[in-house]
Amino acid sequence: MAPAPVVAPAPTKGGQATVTVDSTIDMPTFRKFARLVYDRAGIKLGPHKRALVCARVAKRMRQLGIRKHRDYFRAIEEDASGSEAVELLNAISTNVTQFFREARHFGLLDRLLKGWEANGQTRFRIWCAACSTGEEPYSVAIAASEALESIYDTKILATDISTKALARAREGAYEPRHVEHVPNRMLLKYFERRNGSEPVHYLASEELRRMITFGRINLSKPPFPLKGPLDVIFCRNVMIYFDNEVRRRLLADMYRLLKRGGYLMVGHAESLSGMLSDFKSVEPSVYVKR
């Protein structure tokens, strides 16, 4: 059966839909959105997130010519292809990141890689589980290039639930404000400044791109189709959006994928305290597989 059409866009003026989206969402409709987002992505949306949902979905609703939130939810339900549900998750998911964010983790990564290589390891596998627009995996690639004598068999898997964030990550193009945390020496070495475009941007080098594979993974739906063993997993600033049930499932599968002695790095505001997990705490936000 052919996918059901979502909704035909309203007449546009200058490329923008003229429809005015309702500024509020009734509680029954909000609960439907919250349930769908939880079922599809494991993200908990409490009642205090009503304004956030309104703001995040408004642009998509204008594009489709839909004024009422209940009509947009019905459009998602009637879209047999599932693509509109993906658009909803694109809108809801948060993509806040920067190069070398939480820099202490990259100092630890440098020491780990150097130590493993000194002990004869030549194959390295790292997973950036919530890569957003790519700043994290490119930072990891730079750190690996700086730490290792050879990156021949070094691979980084970068995943996210947002298709829009992944598209930007694959481009690897960043405006000057996005690379302000990259040391100038590394910026010159690993990025190409493109002056002929507007705005001026920096393009990640082929050396970095060869190390990274991008893909869409829903962290709330383990087990994941990945092959271990992994040396390091970065899963930072994403578990705060999950409840304990989703966190436990996620941690169990990351534990499975890591090698013995492999490391998990979470956000500085996150903790596995109270979780039924076999990970051993090394320092705040850093854990090791026993």
Please, are residues 68 and 33 in contact by the beta-carbon 8 Å criterion? no
Residue 234 burial by CB count (10 A; 0-12/13-18/19+): exposed, middle or buried? buried
Nearest residue to 40 (alpha-carbon basis) of 162, 213, 150, 180: 162
Q: Which amino acid type is present at position 81?
A: S
DSSP H/E element including 58: helix 50-64
> Active-site residue 160, yes or no?
yes
Whether 247 is catalytic = no
CA distances from 284 to 136, 159, 233, 246, 267 (A): 19, 24, 15, 21, 9
3-class DSSP state for residue 277? coil
Q: From the centroid of its chain, how far is CA 177?
A: 20
Q: H or E element: which one contains 259?
A: strand 258-266
- Cβ proximity of 29 and 69 under 8 Å: yes
Identified catalytic residue from 79, 101, 160, 231: 160
Catalytic residue among 31, 56, 74, 168: 56
CB-count burial class (<10 Å; 0-12, 13-18, 19+) for 127: buried
Sign of the alpha-carbon torsion through 245, 246, 251, 254? positive
Active site residues: 56, 160
